[in-house]
Structure 1
Amino acid sequence: MINIRQNSYSNSQLMRGIQESSVAYILNHATIEQFDKNTIIVQQSEKHPFLHLILSGKVKTYRHSTEGKETIIRLLKPQETFMDAVIFMNTDTSPISAQSIEPTKTLKIPQKIIHEAISKDSILAHNLLQIIANHYGSSMLQVDAIHTQKPLDRVGFYLLSKYLEHIKLGGSSKSFSLQYTKQDIANQLGVAPETFSRSLAKLKQMGIEIQGTEIKLSSSESLCQFCDPTLTKKCIKSSKDDCKIKE
Structure 2
Amino acid sequence: MHAELSFFDLFLQASLLVKAVMLCLLGFSIASWTMIIQRSKALNKAQVQSSTFEDKFWSGADLSKLYKEISARGAVDGIESLFVAGFKEFARIRKSPDSSPQAVIDGTHRAMRVSLSREVDELETHLSFLATVGSISPYIGLFGTVWGIMNSFIALGAVQQATLSMVAPGIAEALIATAMGLFAAIPAVMAFNRFSHTVEKLENSYGNFVEEFSSILQRQSIASNRTQAQ
TM normalised by structure 2 equals 0.23
Higher strand share: 1
TM normalised by structure 1 equals 0.22
Higher helix share: 2
Q: Which has the higher contact order (CA 8 A, sep 6+)?
A: 2
Rg larger in 1 or in 2?
2
